[in-house]
Amino acid sequence: MTDARLFTIGYAGKTLADLLAQLGAAGVTRVVDVRALPLSRKKGFSKTALAEALAGAGIEYVHLRAAGKPFREIKNDTERCLALYAGHLDAHPEVIADVEEAVAGRGAALLCYEAAAAECHRSVLARRMVAARPRTVMDL
């Protein structure tokens, strides 16, 4: 698989088995966790447990804290959250370079919680990556 495709996936509403099946079916070989704090109340989705489950499925796990949101969620204001995250990327262009390095040459997926990519900071990140280097982004 070439790195001309980039996947994004949110785990809200999914079981760990669902997530692993979707990633496997898409040919994902590396998950790049773009949560600032890779903790979850959902069993199996915190950093260590998730990394172990992915490894068992033959998928690498990379956590990039800097690619996460450096602020707390703003209730009921997705637009503002996404704008704040875009500002974070403007101030820290090295985040894009770090994510590019993590996905290069891989069938990679950016992972966060939100089910709908359009409501998640990973959509802003993916758009910036497309602007830097053309590729196809697919939401799983």
pTM: 0.92
Whether the CB-CB separation of 58 and 29 falls below 8 Å is answered with yes
Question: Who's near 122: CB < 8 A, 6+ residues apart?
Answer: 8, 10, 34, 110, 111, 112, 114
Q: Which tens digit of pLDDT belongs to each residue from 10-41?
A: 999 999 999 999 999 999 999 999 999 999 99
What does the mean pLDDT of the chain come to? 93
- Distance between CA atoms of residues 129 and 57, nearest Å: 27
Helix (H, G, I), strand (E, B) or coil at 31: strand
